[in-house]
Amino acid sequence: MPLIDVIEPEMAEGRLKEIYDDLSRSRGKVASVHKIQSLNPETIVAHMELYMKIMFGKSPLRRYQREMIAVVVSVHNDCLYCTRHHGEALQFFWKDEAKLEAFISNPAEVELSATDRKLCELAARLTDEPNYPNKAVLLDDIRATGLDDRAILDATLVIAYFNFVNRIVLGLGVELEADGGKGYKYD
């Protein structure tokens, strides 16, 4: 149960109703993470603009890689809401339920490319210890897999964004929807 007041879509009026209607059209429905911001509707708009640019915008990172990073960050923060939502999105790309569940339990046990493994390592390190030592070594390892500095920037933006959202979700008691976070548009 949310720890602050939330305006549900059926009770929304004015600008909030417009925002909810836009979300329903563009994303398939209104998520609990958006409803938690209903007392300050323009933050939903800013939040979605950032989300869409980071997760769907042009990038050297593939969409599944961004979702994979989101899952790693959310698992490390013990954020079930984002783990389930972005696990569902990752499943859209992987189409392998066993692999996804194993990845959520222990990413180290799942077969990944060297590039994906290093992106997961970066996500875990920046989440667990943002000022970890020897950053340059890990970034050089990522470059050695073929990614460039733009990809490193984009990965870091995904990591930072999900640490931000995980704290909204965990701090304000956002709960997973009854459908388990399924039914959104992923590509």
Between 25 and 72, the higher pLDDT residue: 72
Gap between the Cα atoms of 11 and 183, Å rounded:
22
- Looking at the chain, the number of H-run helices and the number of E-run strands are 9, 0
Per-residue confidence (pLDDT) for residue 184, from 0 to 100: 59
Residue 64's pLDDT band (cuts 50, 70, 90) = very high
Q: Kindly list the domain boundaries of the chain, sorted by start residue.
A: 9-56, 63-166
Gap between the Cα atoms of 27 and 24, Å rounded:
6
| Dihedral (CA of 177, 182, 183, 184) sign | positive
Average of per-residue pLDDT across 63-76: 98
181 pLDDT above the threshold of 70: no
186 pLDDT above the threshold of 60: no
Average of per-residue pLDDT across 54-71: 98
Per-residue confidence (pLDDT) for residue 1, from 0 to 100: 84
**What is the topology classification, in CATH, of domain 63-166?**
AhpD-like (1.20.1290)
Per-residue confidence (pLDDT) for residue 26, from 0 to 100: 87
Per-residue confidence (pLDDT) for residue 183, from 0 to 100: 61
Longest dimension (CA), the chain: 52
Question: Chain-wide mean pLDDT for the chain?
Answer: 94
CA angle 26, 167, 39 (to 5 degrees): 60
Least confident of 39-48, 126-135, 172-181: 172-181
List, for residues 73-121, the tens digit of each pLDDT value. 999 999 999 999 999 999 999 999 999 999 999 988 899 999 999 999 9
Per-residue confidence (pLDDT) for residue 108, from 0 to 100: 83
180 pLDDT above the threshold of 70: no
